[in-house]
Every structure is written in C-alpha cells, then in structure tokens.
Amino acid sequence: MVRIAILGAGFMGGTHGTAYQNISNAEIAAVCDQNETLGRAFAEKYHCRYYSSFHQMLEECQFDVADICLPTFLHEEYVLMGARHRKHIFCEKPVALEVSSLERMMKAVKEAGVLMMVGQVLRFWPEYVNAKEMYEKGSLGELNYVFAARMSEHPAWSQWYRKPQNSGGGLLDLHLHDVDYLCWLLGRVKSVYASGKQNKDGCWNYVSSMLTFESGISASVQGVIEMEKGYPFTMELRLVGSQKTYEYAMKAGHNLEDVASSKRETRIYENGAITTLPVNLRDAYEIELEHFVDCIDRRCESGIITVEQVREVLCTMEAIKTSLETGEKAEVDYDRQASV
C-alpha cells in the first residue's frame, strides 16, 4: 500500500483525494494546509490526519509520497523538502515558473533516489491518448494540420492565481497543457511564434502559438483564460490527416468543476463518412495518479512522463514567452546550461 500525503486542501487537492479513494493500492495518510478550516474539512472527508505544517507532518507521519497541490510559486520549496526526506514526489503543473527552478528539483530527486512525476494530465486523458494511438499506428495518415485549444473563464478560487509571479498566468497554467500534449505527440519543438495579450496584472492570458517541430510538422495552439463569466471550460483537438481527421471537443462547467456533466464528443471523418466514438467517462486524474502509484509499487525509474520531458516542455514555454515579449520567432533552447 502506497501512503499519500496531500499538500494543499483546495480544488486540486480534493480532485486528487477523490481519485486516490478509487485506487486500490493507495491510501491517503494526511493532508497539510495552513488554512485550518479547509484542512480539517479535507481530513474529515478523506479520513486522514491534518497538519498545518509540512515540517511537523514529516516528523510525525509515515508516508511514501508528497502530492503537491500548492500554488506554483511554492512548488520548488516543497519538492526540495520532500526529496530531502526521501519522499516520492507528485507535483501538479505547472511544475515551475522557470527552467532553472525545475533543474534544481531534478537534481534533488536524483540525489535522493526518488521518483518524481508532474501532473500534465492530457497524457492520460482518454480522447487525447486515443488520438496519439491512432496517429502512431498510421491510421490517420500524414498529418497535414494540427490544432489544439483551451478556453476558460478566469479561476475565482484565490487571488494568488492572478499574479504572473505566482502562477505564470494563462500561459503556464492553461496553454501549457496543449503544448505538452503536442510535444508528447510530435516530439521536440524547433521554433515558435506567438502573439497574444496581457491582462492588467501582466499575465499572458490570451495566447496563440504556432509550433514548428523538428520533424517539420507545425501546429496551431490557442489558449484563453479570461473568457466571459459563465463561458464553459472548453477543450478542442483536431488532427487532419491524409486518410482521416480526428476531432475532439469538450464543454464543461466553469473551471472544470463539473466534468461529469460535460459534453464530450469525438468524431472521425473518413471518405465522407462520420463516426462518433463512445465517450470514456473514467476520470483522467484518477488514471494519472493510478499510473504514478503503480510506478512506485513496481519501483519503476520513470513513468509515462519523465522530468526530462517536463524540462523540454518548459523550455518550449520559455520560447513562447520570449516570442510574446519580442513579437518575433524564437528558437527553443534545450541545451542551455543547467542552473542549479
């Protein structure tokens, strides 16, 4: 049995808590949150111990995994602390605001000999996984056009989220999902060109990116995290192949808080025929965390997503930010000197 300590009793912490309840070889041992009201309510719901201090939790509680669902700007501090105490790490995305921060985490977990995985969940989202499998089997043919989009009203759960130095804004918290998936699908990005608009706080919350991959394939990615209030959380994926077109669309409750009632549809277009695929309703966060727990149980050195791959995606995000700021095409620098 893998014992989990969840850091952060907010929306994502609760999402993870619910997922772990459905994983047979996982047990929630404790939750840590400075907000005592939230923390104690979480502990009561998930039948675990509550701590207001991670230091105290490390001293008093026996657990295997630190599952970090804290604000982005706190990730490095708690990853390093968990690694020093030989805890496996699951960290929600975005893992860091800068590549240099992630490199320090990578060094710490390597020295500690623990597994670290980042929650870039589209690699476990059934429709996105299905699209990748069809492409890799060759059933779509040659890819002629690739498009991905993600639209949301601004999350209202906390003010920390609105500052770019805290969350990275829509660029890192929203746009990153589709960039990560396309890197998983198509490999390394060679160069990017992006345009967009910042909000009054300096967050790039309106972004359109054109990615050119080392393979020669290009993809268009859109992300907006300041849609009008009441606009449903929307995801889109379109792979236009020489043999088939794969198209997925989802509209859910605001901020993904009611995925169960979302409208999801996958269509395959081929030679004038349209096939609608059945919807897989299993929660992607549960699939993701089950994979992570199984990796620990089997003592795997890595899972579906490695920290090295996460670094490559973050390098791509930094190139997109450079392009947004300069208005020019930016090359992705994977060989930058590590800053640890």
Q: How high is the mean pLDDT of the chain? A: 94
Q: Which overall architecture, per CATH, does domain 122-280+316-326 show? A: 2-Layer Sandwich (3.30)
| Mean local confidence (pLDDT), 254-281 | 85
Which of the pair, 44 or 337, is modelled with greater confidence? 44
Angle between helices 99-112 and 307-326 (to 10 degrees): 170
Which conformational region is residue 286 in: left (phi greater than 0), alpha (psi within -120 to 50 degrees), or beta? alpha
The pLDDT assigned to 165 comes to 86
Helix (H) or strand (E) holding 41: helix 36-46
Task: Please say if the pLDDT value at position 155 is more than 80.
Answer: no
In degrees rounded to 5, what are phi and psi of residue 14? Answer: -65, -35
Q: For residues 96 and 178, is the Cβ–Cβ distance under 8 A?
A: no
Task: Please say if the pLDDT value at position 24 is more than 80.
Answer: yes
CB contact burial 65-96 (16+ within 10 A = b; e otherwise):
bbbbbbebbebbebbbbbbeeebbbbbbbbbb
Alpha carbons within 13 angstroms on the beta-carbon side of residue 333 total 12
Residues 292 and 121: their CA atoms lie apart, in Å, by 12
* Domain ranges across the chain: 2-120+287-304, 122-280+316-326
Residue 338's pLDDT band (cuts 50, 70, 90)? low
Residues 281 and 33: their CA atoms lie apart, in Å, by 30
Q: Is the dihedral of CA 281, 24, 292, 187 positive or negative?
A: negative
Task: Please say if the pLDDT value at position 158 is more than 70.
Answer: no
Residue 144's pLDDT band (cuts 50, 70, 90)? very high
Task: Please say if the pLDDT value at position 339 is more than 70.
Answer: no
Which of these, 191, 156, 151, 157, lies nearest to 170 by C-alpha position?
Answer: 151
pTM of the model: 0.95
Angle between helices 11-21 and 284-297 (to 10 degrees): 60
| Mean local confidence (pLDDT), 6-22 | 97
Q: Which CATH number describes the domain made up of 2-120+287-304?
A: 3.40.50.720
CB neighbour list of residue 326: distance below 8 Å, 6 or more residues apart? none
The pLDDT assigned to 138 comes to 98
| Mean local confidence (pLDDT), 140-168 | 87
Residues 123 and 176: their CA atoms lie apart, in Å, by 12
| Mean local confidence (pLDDT), 18-29 | 98
Q: Is the dihedral of CA 132, 133, 138, 141 positive or negative?
A: negative
Q: Is the dihedral of CA 241, 246, 252, 258 positive or negative?
A: negative
Which of these, 11, 19, 102, lies nearest to 289 by C-alpha position?
Answer: 19
Residues 169 and 180: their CA atoms lie apart, in Å, by 16
